[in-house]
Homo-oligomer: A and B are copies of this chain.
């Protein structure tokens, strides 16, 4: 694959022949091909099979023509390796994959100190083998994005024991800040070794999913998040591949996010894309179609997607994406229509 693929070029704010497009959760339950795989295997079983990882990662490239593939995995796959019992509840029929459940959540400083840092080549070999299998499947057609969860987002599951909000974790910040820092330190180390190994195995870019970081105010972001995120961005920078930061609900912090050291900042639909680009001129911007529009009439999705393209403007450094992941129940033809419309979009 040429290193000048339009997705990688846009990450580096270089001119491209047409707008690159990929969508978060582009491999998922909205696809008949994914649902067929999941009728055979559970979610974690899928995440642990290099062959199936490659199959579901490559499928949306074949089906929709996205400009980048993203490793099929989960931001919590490393938890068993660090000492936490992870299961996924069975999703309801027609709904998502079910939420994560951690039976031994982290509540005390002693719990934090007992956590290990994973050794990816030993503990997450299936991920690295999956990356090699994906690259064989892609055969150089599009770049592959590796990813890890951000320390705050992973901590929210680790401390709450699942998807139960943020009150326990945030109370830990206020009542036991040293324990919280120790936890973020461990999770940062875990994120860095994972993303370094993913890149060494062949990932062409790295996205940090810090999906729920918008729950914190600026003071807590500065104390408990940004220093750790900066270290992750630096670790990716040393490898030479572009880094992408993703979160939701952070329009109030955009200038600050743009200074953390990531090459690309992904924004949700809660800020107009032209304002995002104006407020963060030093990074590439990714986003920001509201995934809900893809549930409606095809033309509504296409119209809104083209509005995003126009608002993004002709300057280099823009990657079309959603503001969050594709939702279960999205008609695949809507996804295809938006990909085609973005690819056909041209500045006159």
**Interface check A292, CB cutoff 8 A:** yes
Please, how many angstroms separate the alpha-carbon atoms of A253 and B279 in the complex? 13
A267 and chain B: residue at smallest CB distance: B252
Q: Are B170 and A217 in contact, CB atoms less than 8 angstroms apart?
A: no
Interface set, chain A 260-288, CB cutoff 8 A to B: 269-272, 275-276, 288
CB-based contact A290/B175 at 8 Å: no
* Stretch of A62-70, A191-199, A295-303 that contacts chain B: A295-303
CB–CB A175/B327 < 8 A = no
Q: Which residues of B contact A220 (CB under 8 A)?
A: 290
Q: Lowest 3 A-B CB distances belong to which pairs?
A: A252-B271, A251-B252, A174-B296
Given contacts A170-B296, A217-B288, 9 further A-B contacts (CB under 8 A): A167-B295, A170-B295, A174-B297, A175-B296, A217-B269, A217-B272, A217-B290, A219-B304, A252-B275
The 8 A CB mask of A226-270 against B (1 = contact, 0 = none) is: 000000000000000000000001111100000000000000011
14 contacts between A and B (CB under 8 A): A167-B292, A167-B295, A170-B292, A170-B295, A171-B292, A174-B300, A175-B300, A214-B249, A216-B290, A219-B307, A252-B252, A252-B272, A253-B270, A253-B271
Give the residue of B217, B290, B323 whose beta carbon is less than 8 angstroms from that of A270.
B217
Chain A 206-228 near chain B by CB (<8 Å), digits 1 or 0: 00000000101111100000000
**Least Cβ–Cβ distance between A194 and chain B, in angstroms:** 28
Asked if A43 CB lies within 8 Å of chain B CBs, one says: no
The answer to whether B249 touches A270 (Cβ under 8 A) is: yes
Interface status of A126 (Cβ within 8 A of chain B)? no
Decide if A270 touches B252 in the complex (CB within 8 Å). Answer: yes
How many copies altogether?
2
- Residues of chain B contacted by A271 (CB below 8 angstroms): 218, 251-253
- Are A171 and B217 in contact, CB atoms less than 8 angstroms apart? no
Task: Confirm or deny: A293 has a beta carbon within 8 angstroms of a beta carbon on chain B.
Answer: yes
Whether the Cβ atoms of B270 and A214 lie closer than 8 Å is yes
Contact with B along A162-196 (1 / 0, CB 8 A): 00001100110111000000000000000000000
